[in-house]
Amino acid sequence: MKIRIERNPSTERLTALKVETWPTWSKEVSVFPWSYDSAETCYFLEGEVIVTPDDGEPVQVGKGDLVVFPLGMTCTWDIRRSVKKYYRFG
């Protein structure tokens, strides 16, 4: 299972995905486990996170990144700077 990251996608790409219509999620600096029972696509407005899949290498994501977390992935989120993101499941 691989986390897909698109760094600084174009405004046209974000508009085509209708990112601004997605709900937002915010979280302060913290560390916690997470499991994905559905794929998640998100666009980071703020923050910096190290996501470490249980069966993989740590990945750094943050402001300006469009990220897809795969269905079934179990990982640990290490939020280094408070996060705000748009997100969509499915």
- Which tokens is 19 given? 């990112």
Give the rounded percent of residues in the chain with a pLDDT score beyond 70.
100
- Which tokens is 78 given? 């290490």
**Which pLDDT score is estimated for 54?**
96
- Average predicted confidence (pLDDT) for the chain: 97
Asked if residue 49 lies in contact with residue 62, where contact means CB atoms within 8 angstroms, the answer is yes
The span from the CA of 5 to the CA of 66, in Å, is 6
**Which pLDDT score is estimated for 1?**
76
Q: Tens of pLDDT along 35-65? A: 999 999 999 999 999 999 998 999 999 999 9
Superfamily of domain 4-89: Jelly Rolls (2.60.120.10)
Amino acid of residue 12 = E
- Considering the entire predicted model, what is its pTM? 0.95
**Confidence band for 11, pLDDT divided at 50, 70 and 90:** very high
- Domain parsing of the chain, residue ranges: 4-89
The span from the CA of 52 to the CA of 73, in Å, is 10
Phi, psi dihedrals of residue 19, rounded to the nearest 5°: -55, -40
